């Protein structure tokens, strides 16, 4: 369960475009780390590099290392499929599988990995949906398509799907940006619950959200147009928001940016 991530000298490219330069940071186990920063600063790119989703984009390239409890996910011979099984991900837009029922969506990861034991799938469905605070709302219509749920419910369904495979780390890429305040609150409460068992990294544009849910915050910035994004500073969330050590961070947080 919950593992630590050490990111060392991470450089990310799309073809010849250098997207992110020299990121080094630690993500602690059983805590929430928030990535904040302006659009295009590379925070989502860094997040996607953590479970080797960056390389899904044609022409992308990674340099540096990401250690999961000391084990480099970019070591030669490491299967990206295995990495993604250990480091799960929730996306900006809820993306339940449209051809599958709510139940099948939740256990998709297990089913597609070849698990057939009905009793186990049943248990995982209930446990994951309870874990995502969705069980009470959908328990009577598990066989209905996942696409019929509301936006907030769909996003919680995606979280249930991600935790159903019991990853060590959960990555969230702006999980609330398309949701209304009530659904956002539901998901923030859920994040607070989940961090008891999971290591969570969340990218967010909402600074209040970062302040509310995270234990440590990393601020990314673009030094100038056309240059790669960089990690400006990382620290305890309270400190970053009250007394950041960099001027750029203070400007961004106080809204005096750009």
Partner 1 sequence: MRTDTADIERPASAPAFQHLGLGRRIKNHTATVLFGLAFVVAVIPLLWVLFTLVRRGLAPMLSTEWWTHSFYGLLPNDPGGGIYHALVGTLEQTLVCAVIAVPLGVTVGIFLIEYGRNSKLARTTTFMVDILSGLPSIVAGLFIYALWITTFGFDRSGFAVSLSLVLLMLPVVVRVTETMLTIVPDELREASYALGVPKWKTILKVVLPTSLSGIITGIILGLARIMGETAPLLILVGYSRAINFNLFDGPMASLPLTVYTARKTSTEAGEYRMWGAALTLVLLIMLINLLATLLSKLFSVKTR
Question: Given the rule CB under 8 A, which residues bind partner 1?
Answer: 51, 53, 56, 58, 81-82, 84-86, 88-89, 91, 93, 95-99, 108-109, 112-113, 144-145, 147-148, 158, 161-162, 165
Per the listing, tokens 């749920």 go with 149
If you ran DSSP here, which 8-state letter would residue 167 be given?
Answer: -
Q: 3-state class of 135 per DSSP?
A: helix
- Of 46 and 207, nearer to partner 1 (C-beta) is 46
- Of 131 and 244, nearer to partner 1 (C-beta) is 131
Task: Tell how strand 5-14 and strand 17-27 pair up.
Answer: antiparallel
Q: What's the min distance (Å) between Cβ of 227 and partner 1? A: 27
Q: What's the min distance (Å) between Cβ of 182 and partner 1? A: 22
Q: What's the min distance (Å) between Cβ of 202 and partner 1? A: 15
Q: What's the min distance (Å) between Cβ of 219 and partner 1? A: 25
Q: What's the min distance (Å) between Cβ of 79 and partner 1? A: 9
- Of 198 and 241, nearer to partner 1 (C-beta) is 198
How many Cβ atoms are within 10 Å of 141's Cβ, its own excluded? 13
Residue 223's region, left for phi above 0, alpha for psi from -120 to 50, else beta, is alpha
- Of 38 and 147, nearer to partner 1 (C-beta) is 147
The runs of H, that is alpha helices, within 6-117 are 43-50, 80-86, 102-106, 108-112
- Of 59 and 238, nearer to partner 1 (C-beta) is 59
- Compute the distance between CA of residue 129 and CA of residue 69 in angstroms, rounded to an integer: 28
Q: What's the min distance (Å) between Cβ of 143 and partner 1? A: 11
How many Cβ atoms are within 10 Å of 184's Cβ, its own excluded? 19
Per the listing, tokens 């030669």 go with 76
- Of 59 and 223, nearer to partner 1 (C-beta) is 59
- Of 137 and 251, nearer to partner 1 (C-beta) is 137
- Compute the distance between CA of residue 175 and CA of residue 66 in angstroms, rounded to an integer: 23
* Among the listed residues 174, 188, 192, 249, the one whose alpha carbon sits nearest the alpha carbon of residue 217: 249
- Compute the distance between CA of residue 228 and CA of residue 185 in angstroms, rounded to an integer: 33
Q: Residue 84 in contact with residue 162, Cβ under 8 Å?
A: no
Q: What's the min distance (Å) between Cβ of 88 and partner 1? A: 6
């Amino acid at each position: 369960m919950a593992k630590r991530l050490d990111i060392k000298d991470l450089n990310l490219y799309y073809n010849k475009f250098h997207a992110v330069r020299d990121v080094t940071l630690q993500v602690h186990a059983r805590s929430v780390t928030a990535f904040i920063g302006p659009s295009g600063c590379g925070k989502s790119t860094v997040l996607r590099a953590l479970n080797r989703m960056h390389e899904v984009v044609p022409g992308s390239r990674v340099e540096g290392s990401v250690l999961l409890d000391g084990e480099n996910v970019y070591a030669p011979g490491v299967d990206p499929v295995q990495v993604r099984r250990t480091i799960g991900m929730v996306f900006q837009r809820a993306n339940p599988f449209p051809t599958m029922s709510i139940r099948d969506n939740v256990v998709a990861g297990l089913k597609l990995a070849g698990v057939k034991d009905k009793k186990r799938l049943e248990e995982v469905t209930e446990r994951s949906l309870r874990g995502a605070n969705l069980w009470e709302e959908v328990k009577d219509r598990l066989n209905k398509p996942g696409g019929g749920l509301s936006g907030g419910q769909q996003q919680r369904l995606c979280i249930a799907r991600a935790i159903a495979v019991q990853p060590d780390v959960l990555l969230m890429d702006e999980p609330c940006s398309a949701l209304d305040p009530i659904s956002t609150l539901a998901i923030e409460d859920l994040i607070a619950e989940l961090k008891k068992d999971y290591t969570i990294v969340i990218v967010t544009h909402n600074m209040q959200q970062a302040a509310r849910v995270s234990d440590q915050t990393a601020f990314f910035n673009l030094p100038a147009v056309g240059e790669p994004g960089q990690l400006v500073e990382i620290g305890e969330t309270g400190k970053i928001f009250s007394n950041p050590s960099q001027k750029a961070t203070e400007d961004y947080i106080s809204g005096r940016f750009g």
